[in-house]
């Protein structure tokens, strides 16, 4: 009998797959409690490295055309579809879901990428405005990505919750540092492999496995993070207080559903800033 080759589950930072700088790991069991893998346990240094690469990747990603960003997001859906079996297997192993339930979750994850892909070049049509001001001025309001987003994926979802946390942040041109579900991290690392092969520039999505509560305060108080999504965090009020110190945009837990085959426009807009430009009209 051939011995199976098992995967080493590492972090995803700047388009690369490093171990935690700290060398720390934690044990992940399957739904029956049997050992599955040793997963990298991200540290404060990993958080800081992620913010640095997320910041440097952000302007390029935001500067890509909306058409281009849409195609990259669609490409993620294509890659995910191609590796469906692996995700179904990981979800089942981790959660004990039936094959049908696991397939449904993967369907929703793929379809949500497609739903988000279609928004890139429509956000402005729906959420921007020409403003009829009472004077001889051209006046337009547009939406611009807020910058670097820190996010905590829901703890009870192996894949679709993570997708519905990442996609609304990056669709408009933000970069994101996402902390996965602590107990269900394997599909997240596999998703990183999908992202890595989808023409997504390195650093736009950074995935940290580990203890959300431990990593939370470092992300919430980081001076170079613009917005924070507290969905999967247990001490949300505490982190909202830390985030207030730099007036980060905050999404409180439970604001948006993360399990469907689509997201919410308002979720996308929560990571965007409205900019209004005036210019006189004249000869």
Partner 1 sequence: MFDYAPAPESRDLVKFQDSYGHFIGGKFTKPSNTYGTINPATEETLAQISHGTAKDVDAAVKAARNAYEKTWSKLDGATRGKYLYRIARIIQERSRELAVAETLNNGKPIKETRDADIPLAASWFFYYAGWADKLDYAGLGPNPMAHGVAAQVVPWNFPLMMLAWKIAPALAAGNTVVLKPAETTPLSALLFAEICQQAELPDGVVNIVTGFGDTGAELFDHSDINKVAFTGSTNVGKIIAKQIAGTNKKATLELGGKAANIVFEDAALDQAVEGIVNGIFFNQGHVCCAGSRLLVQESVQDVLIKKLKARMENIRLGDPMDKNTDIGAINSKAQLTKIDRLVKQGVKEGGQSWAPTCAMPKNGFWYAPTIITGVAPTNTVAREEIFGPVLSVMTFRTPAEAVAKANNSQYGLSAGVWTEKGSRILKMADQLNAGVVWANTYNQFDPASPFGGFKESGYGREGGRHGLLSYLKGSH
Among the candidate windows 49-57, 73-81, 138-146, 158-166, which touches partner 1 by CB under 8 A?
138-146
- 56 lies in the site for partner 1, by CB under 8 A: no
> What is residue 2's three-state secondary structure?
coil
- 125 lies in the site for partner 1, by CB under 8 A: no
With CB under 8 A as the contact rule, the residue among 22, 141, 183, 217 that binds partner 1 is: 141
With CB under 8 A as the contact rule, the residue among 54, 226, 258, 271 that binds partner 1 is: 226
Distance in angstroms (rounded) separating the CA atoms of residues 244 and 128: 27
Tokens standing for 34? 């049997």
- 126 lies in the site for partner 1, by CB under 8 A: yes
- 104 lies in the site for partner 1, by CB under 8 A: no
- 246 lies in the site for partner 1, by CB under 8 A: yes
Pick 27 or 275: Cβ nearer partner 1: 275
Helix ranges restricted to H, 146-277: 160-170, 186-196, 212-220, 236-244, 265-269
With CB under 8 A as the contact rule, the residue among 236, 251, 267, 268 that binds partner 1 is: 236
* Residue 13 DSSP one-character state: B
With CB under 8 A as the contact rule, the residue among 8, 85, 234, 277 that binds partner 1 is: 277
3-state secondary structure 201-237: CCCCEEEECCCHHHHHHHHHCCCCCCEEECCCCCCHH
> What is residue 142's three-state secondary structure?
strand
- 65 lies in the site for partner 1, by CB under 8 A: no
Distances (CA, A) of 206 to 30, 135, 150: 24, 46, 10
Residues found near partner 1 in the complex (CB under 8 A): 126-127, 129, 131-135, 137, 139, 141, 144, 146, 226, 236-238, 240-241, 243-247, 249, 252, 264, 266, 273-280
């Amino acid at each position: 009998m051939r011995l199976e080759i098992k995967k080493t589950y590492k972090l995803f930072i700047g388009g690369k797959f490093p171990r935690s700088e700290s060398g720390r790991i934690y044990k992940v069991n399957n739904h029956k409690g049997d050992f599955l893998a040793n997963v990298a346990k991200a540290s404060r240094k990993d958080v800081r490295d992620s913010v640095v690469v997320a910041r440097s990747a952000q302007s390029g990603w935001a500067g890509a055309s909306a058409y281009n960003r849409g195609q990259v997001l669609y490409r993620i859906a294509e890659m995910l579809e191609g590796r469906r079996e692996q995700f179904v297997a990981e979800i089942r192993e981790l959660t004990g879901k039936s094959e049908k339930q696991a397939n449904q979750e993967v369907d929703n994850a793929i379809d949500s990428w497609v739903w988000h892909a279609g928004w890139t070049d429509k956000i402005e049509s729906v959420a921007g405005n020409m403003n009829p001001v009472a004077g001889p001025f051209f006046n337009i309001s547009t939406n611009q990505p807020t910058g670097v987003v820190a996010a905590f994926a829901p703890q009870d979802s192996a894949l679709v919750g993570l997708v519905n946390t990442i996609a609304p942040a990056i669709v408009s041109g933000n970069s994101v540092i996402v902390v996965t579900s602590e107990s269900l991290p394997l599909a997240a690392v596999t998703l990183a492999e999908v992202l890595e092969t989808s023409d997504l520039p390195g650093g736009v999505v950074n995935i940290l496995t580990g203890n959300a509560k431990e990593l939370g305060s470092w992300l919430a108080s980081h001076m170079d993070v613009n917005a924070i999504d507290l969905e999967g965090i247990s001490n949300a009020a505490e982190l909202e207080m830390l985030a207030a110190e730099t007036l980060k945009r905050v999404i409180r837990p439970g604001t948006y559903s993360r399990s469907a085959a689509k997201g919410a426009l308002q979720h996308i807009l929560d990571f965007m800033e409205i900019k209004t430009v005036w210019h006189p009209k004249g000869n």
